[in-house]
């Protein structure tokens, strides 16, 4: 399968612990996005990368959240000192830059985080 993959698919942690998620985009895609989705809502934009550069971050991304894409390929999203409000599905998407204003994103299956 050459789609976007995410690991782990499920994570249960205790409040205060740190967690890290990984996203492997489609191999030739240079853009990578992170979103958070809670039940009954649409995905909320967190951040995106073009190659290894993090170009935009949402205000939702507090200082407990950090994302990296060190070699312009896979990306990690770390949440430090998790809180119960962090419980959500974390989605990764990738895209290939093309025509101006056109950016079709392909989504991974997500990592479901539960903070107890």
Partner 1 sequence: SQQGEEDPQALSIQEGENATMNCSYKTSINNLQWYRQNSGRGLVHLILIRSNEREKHSGRLRVTLDTSKKSSSLLITASRAADTASYFCATALNTGGFKTIFGAGTRLFVKA
- CB nearer partner 1, residue 32 or residue 79: 32
Residues between 48 and 87 that touch partner 1 (CB under 8 A): 48, 50, 55-56, 58
Q: Is the dihedral of CA 59, 65, 70, 72 positive or negative?
A: negative
DSSP conformation class of 85: G
Residue 64 Cβ vs partner 1, minimum distance, rounded to whole Å: 21
Check residue 5 for interaction with partner 1 (CB under 8 A): no
Residues between 12 and 51 that touch partner 1 (CB under 8 A): 31, 33, 35, 40-45, 48, 50
DSSP conformation class of 12: E
Cβ atoms of 111 and 21 within 8 Å: the answer is yes
Cβ atoms of 3 and 17 within 8 Å: the answer is no
Chain contacts with partner 1 (rule: CB under 8 A): 31, 33, 35, 40-45, 48, 50, 55-56, 58, 91, 93, 95, 100-110
């Amino acid at each position: 399968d050459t789609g976007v993959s995410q690991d782990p698919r499920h994570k249960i942690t205790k409040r205060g612990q740190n967690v890290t998620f990984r996203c492997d985009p489609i191999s030739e895609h240079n853009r990578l996005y992170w979103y958070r989705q809670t039940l009954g809502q649409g995905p909320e934009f967190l951040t995106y990368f073009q190659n290894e550069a993090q170009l935009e971050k949402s205000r939702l991304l507090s200082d407990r959240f950090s994302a990296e894409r060190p070699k312009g390929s896979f990306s990690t999203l770390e949440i430090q000192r998790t809180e119960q409000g962090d419980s959500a599905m974390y989605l990764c998407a990738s895209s290939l830059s093309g025509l101006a204003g056109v950016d079709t994103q392909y989504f991974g299956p997500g990592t479901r985080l539960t903070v107890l």
